[in-house]
A and B are shown apart, each in its own frame.
Chain A
Amino acid sequence: MLDFVQQLVSGIALGCVYGLIALGFVLVYKATEVVNFAQGDLMMLGGFFAFTFIGILGLNYWIGFAGAVATMALFGMLAERVVVRPILGYPQFSIIMATIGLGYFLRSVAGMVWGTDDFKIETPFSQGVLRIGALVLAYDKLSVIAATIILCALLYLFFNKTTLGTAMRASSENMLAAYYMGIPVKRVVSIVWAISAAVATCAGVLLAPITFIHSNVGLVLGLKAFPAAVLGGFGSIPGAVVGGVLIGVIESMAGFYLAEGWKDVAPYIVLLAVLLLKPEGLFGLRMRKKV
């Protein structure tokens, strides 16, 4: 039983990381219908910026964290301006390819700048554990869970309660109509990319004590976060986190209870099964086109 709870908690912590990256996917998709395959790489880049600020320049953890988030928000806007804006309105497939290309580029450049080693960021909560009876919970994992809940709640409120959030939802439904309604669609898209890069950076920094930062971490985790977003139904913020947690828990349970090799495949098998039964994910909306 204890093993089970232990696995459950570490699965949830891992899942929250997937959920955070998946949140970035969902944000961009919700606002622009662009599927950003470079999301994992934005996370990796954010982690590297934080590492530079904290580990190399020796800044305070929280200042470094904020600096990395701000830098990456600007970078997200830049990426949107250069790569995504010219192809908005084209078929989704072109945009997917463009972001795959962007991902390749970021991975290689990060490898050239920071090298291919693993890096670790010292955090205030990388040491120490919380003991509840016989249960041992590491603070770094708990910090991920807490941050995910806070970010998810903030983003949910932002999308559903603020004017800007409503504008984002409107431009995702129909860019042209949103534009006619006086929504500055281009600026909205730009802001969405900034937010999603910032969320990715949070994921990267929180993740650093658990999996370390290296130039391929974005690809590895991005490929897990992507099923998480799909499982939750692309376009649903709570769905992304639930999907992420499910994937994380399945992975950690499969790693513990099943034979070796199931750990990496189990999430995908579950994903395929869910897609067979509910093609639009757990929380996705079914929409029909009229011809």
Chain B
Amino acid sequence: MRFLFKTDYEDDIRLFPHSGYVFSYGTLLVLLVVAPFVLSSYLVSQLVFVCIYATVGVALLILTGFTGQASLGHAAFLAIGAYTAAYLQQFNVPFPVYFLVAGLLTGVVGALVGFPALRLQGIYLVIATISFAFIVEEILARWESVTRGNEGMRVKALQLLGTSISRDSPTFYFLCLAVLILTIVGTLNLLRSPTGRAFVAIRDSETAARSMGINVSLYKVKSFAISAAITGFAGVLFAHKLSFISPEMFTLQLSIEFIIVILIGGAFSLHGAVLGAIFIVMIDPFLTYLKDDLPGMIAGVAAALGAGSARAAHIQDSVAAFASANGLKGAIYGVIIVLFVLFEPLGLYGRWLKIKRFFQLFPLYKRATFKRQKIYVKSERNR
């Protein structure tokens, strides 16, 4: 185990505390750069979605994970970013301009949502953000002169520096990756600045933060604006990747998916957003794969265990029927969420930390290190 001796504040807030970080993140970066030339185009396309979801996940982490303000309305911010891009693109506005405009506009909307949210807490905030998302969805469907309503809008290929970047090209993947990395580095810098510390203070105790002289309202609005703006940037990429957007893509379902990203990844660290995004994006192809191959595998096992071939075929058929049943995906989704909340509330990144700590401290690891405290006294209504 490596011990870090910190002698001044600079040591404490360093982005790369020691050379191991540089090595591991450098390797990861090299792998990600090589990826589009090695992997199949389908996987690269999934990686693009991972980048977009992870960007939104980071945005949501700033608001929910670090400022403690729950939001079930991030699909609306994504929609505003996507529609701004699609609308401005019609007038041949260059990509860098509408990319920035989309982010700024979404940030302003986020701040506007942040104002009413100032007085709301917990469950009231959740419902207020849901209401906001519904209203945005309805506006997108009704404001036909701008959004073309339920017909949806086509998004042309991205034009940058005089070349057209198709949504399946490696260049588009690099663009998304660059946005994700910039977002993560920017967020890391934000979190070690006074603003980020104020966010965390508000999350831990609003009253205490206020008595420390933090302008709670200002920082809450800031947090909303920053989170919304990042989501808006992701929205532009989302629109380009899908090349077609319509209001029914940005439903509550999508907002819940974003929350699941940070929940499954681990809502206490930026790693969580990335891991959660990988999980959410990859679960679909994985389930499809299981659906196609699992029945055969189970029949093989049954045959190996001595069941007759007719019986094995019967088992294969019934498993296949079960696996292709309508809505099985939703059930698996639900079970996964419940299992994570019950057994791994720190998410995938928490699991990784536990495994890492186990080997670092090998014979001395204690389960209680990561145990969360249950509080039966505090009532969330009294705060």
- Taking beta carbons and an 8 Å cutoff, which residues of A are in contact with B? 29, 33, 35, 83, 86-90, 92-98, 100-109, 111-112, 116, 172-177, 179, 215, 223, 226-227, 230, 234-235, 261, 264-265, 268-269, 271-272, 275-276, 279-281, 285, 287-289, 291
Contacts and interface: CB of A to CB of B under 8 A. Distances in A.
Contacts, number: 160
A98 B337 contact: yes
Contact of A111 (B130, B326, B345, B382): B326
B325 interface: yes
Interface core residue of A88, A97, A285, A291 (most chain B CB under 10 Å): A97
Interface of B: 64, 70, 116, 119-124, 126-128, 130-132, 134-135, 138, 141-142, 205, 207-208, 211, 252, 256, 259-260, 263, 325-331, 333-338, 341-342, 345, 372, 374-377, 379-383
Nearest to A269: B135
Contact of A230 (B124, B141, B259, B333): B124
Nearest to B121: A279
Contacts of B130: 223, 226, 268
Nearest to B326: A111
Nearest to A234: B123
Given A101-B333, A268-B130, A268-B135, 12 more contacts: A35-B126, A86-B342, A97-B260, A97-B341, A100-B256, A109-B327, A109-B331, A235-B381, A271-B127, A279-B121, A279-B124, A289-B382
14 contacts: A90-B374, A92-B380, A98-B337, A101-B335, A105-B331, A105-B333, A172-B379, A174-B379, A226-B130, A265-B138, A269-B131, A285-B381, A287-B382, A289-B382
Contacts of B380: 33, 92
Contact of A261 (B141, B325, B336, B341): B141
Given A98-B342, A271-B131, A279 B120 contact: yes
B321 to A, nearest CB: 11
B338 A105 contact: yes
Nearest to A103: B334
A83 B135 contact: no
B266 to A, nearest CB: 12
Contacts of B119: 275-276, 279
B336 A92 contact: no
A276 B117 CA distance: 8
Per DSSP, chain B at the interface is helix
Given A33-B379, A97-B263, A112 B327 contact: yes
B382 A83 contact: no
Contact of B334 (A105, A173, A174, A271): A105
A272 B132 contact: yes
A268 B256 contact: no
B377 A175 contact: yes
Contacts of A90: 345, 372, 374
A112 B327 CA distance: 6
Nearest to A270: B131
A280 B282 CA distance: 40
Contacts of B256: 100
A92 B116 contact: no
Given A90-B345, A90-B374, A112-B328, A101 B337 contact: yes
Contacts of B381: 33, 235, 285, 287
A32 to B, nearest CB: 11
Contact of A97 (B122, B123, B337, B377): B337
A88 B377 contact: no
A101 B341 CA distance: 9
Contacts of B132: 272
